Amino acid sequence: MRQDSIPLSLIRTDGGTQCRAFIDQHVVQEYADLVRGGTVFPPVVVFHDGSEYWLADGFHRVAAHVEAEREEIDVDQREGTKRDAVLFAAGANIDHGLRRTNADKRAAVVRLLEDDEWAAWSDGEIARRCGVSQPFVSKLRGLTHNGCESPERTYTTRHGTVATMDTSKIGARDLHEGERDEDGNLVGPPVERRAGGEEGSGLGEQLKAGLGERYHDGIQLDSDLSQWFTPPELASVAARLACVEVVPVRVLDPAAGSGALLEALVDAAGEDGIDTGGVDAVELDPRWFDYLVEKGWLAEEGSYLDRPAPDELYDVALLNPPYENGLDGDFMAKVMDEAMVVVAILRVNALHGEARFEKVWSRVNTPDGDWGQTHETKCWRRPSFGGGSAKHDFCVVRLERGYEGPCVTRWIDPRNPVPSEAFL
């Protein structure tokens, strides 16, 4: 490995080594302006096979230097083939540079899964190489090669030798596939068949047992994590407020749960559609993370409050935050630092109190605040959470960065569908 400057004309960008979903021309223009202003960027990574220089990391920087009419660029030159460049590119920008979108992560994983050699690696190894989670890889593997996957996986033993394992029986359980709707879409998780042929209780049986508000799609909700499923009526209200001016492109749900808000957002977007590659769904509970992945969302497992801030602001943060121990205030304060618009389902008491004022509401409609409240939708009775009435009053608020206009206030019945004209 050595650092040097080489002519841009020598760098090959046409060999399929790009593992992002696409080049963002807005970023290219921004970088080009910085180059013209004298900013020196880190060297791009190229692999030299003796004759060609294959670009592995730095496609936006190379495009920006071309746009700025530069003839050379600093490179981190490594010896290797085009395949070495592809493999390096699959894991590029994990912890530096332009933050990868979910679409970028998907493109990197699919690039490896569509290669016969790399597809034989375990899901865990591909996840490590691409800087994603193992369930994420497993989900995408089922969508490549017509849904077929080889039962053989190669791995490295503790002695350093390469071996092949038949994985067809690993983790095998007698499972019934999750319930699907008439279009074939998954609407419930897999159910394990118990001894004697008795299946585990599904959502309907849990409701009959009087446990409805503590279960959702057969998964028991965890009160220690402040888990309550989002009523569809409130999810619909929040989603339509998120689309009140324009359908968002980059969306954050920091407490995604079963994805109720995201599904409502897809419905609210209508024909304009939502690009799932621009949606970041964060979930702490691994059971719900697996469920989100199974339903097709590109989710992140972990604590949102510990998650690094994004490189650019989201168009909308859409959330039904945890409420216990003042966590709603912590979530609201963080999303307000990371988004242009925030739409949140909140307990009414979350609008009050000294601690919440300092964290959140001191920034809204105050002389020194950077946010304005555009909408407040109030519930004239308490919503239904899984078959029982909520113990608190709720509202849905929409906040917008830099907004200085009036706030539109409406009352709704949270137990019945809210007509679309209420959001005009």
Query: What DSSP line would sit under 296-319, residue for residue?
Result: T--EEES-GGGSPPPSS-EEEEEE
Place of tokens 């180059």: 35
Q: Pick left, alpha or beta for residue 293 (phi over 0 → left; psi -120 to 50 → alpha; otherwise beta).
A: alpha
Neighbouring C-beta atoms of residue 144, cutoff 10 Å:
15
Neighbouring C-beta atoms of residue 167, cutoff 10 Å:
16
| Contacts (Cβ under 8 Å, ≥6 apart) of 208 | none
CA distances from 215 to 201, 261, 346 (A): 11, 17, 21
**SS3 of 267, please?**
helix
Q: How many CA atoms lie within 13 A of 217 on its CB side?
A: 21
Cβ–Cβ under 8 Å, residues 131 and 94: yes
Indicate the burial class of 409 (C-beta count within 10 angstroms; 0-12, 13-18, 19 or more): exposed
Between CA 278 and CA 26 the distance in angstroms is: 16
Between CA 73 and CA 11 the distance in angstroms is: 10
Q: What is the dihedral of CA 151, 155, 157, 162, to 10 degrees?
A: 100
Nearest one of 59, 54, 110, 107 to 82, comparing CA atoms: 54
Between CA 39 and CA 165 the distance in angstroms is: 50
Between CA 16 and CA 129 the distance in angstroms is: 17
Q: pLDDT tens track of the chain, all 424 residues?
A: 567 899 999 999 988 898 887 787 888 899 999 999 999 999 999 999 999 999 999 999 999 999 999 999 999 999 999 999 999 999 887 776 777 776 778 888 888 998 989 999 998 899 899 988 887 788 778 765 433 444 454 444 434 555 554 444 333 333 333 444 444 443 443 333 322 233 333 323 322 232 233 334 444 444 444 556 678 888 889 999 998 777 788 899 999 988 889 888 888 887 667 776 678 899 888 777 777 777 677 788 888 999 888 888 999 999 999 887 888 999 999 999 999 999 999 999 889 889 899 999 999 999 888 899 999 999 888 887 655 566 788 999 999 999 988 999 999 888 777 665 554 4
Which DSSP category does 177 fall into? P
Between CA 241 and CA 264 the distance in angstroms is: 11
Strands 371-379 and 394-401: antiparallel
CA distances from 5 to 76, 78, 387 (A): 9, 13, 67
Total count of residues recorded for the chain: 424
Please provide the distance, in angstroms rounded to a whole number, between the alpha carbons at the two ends of the chain.
60
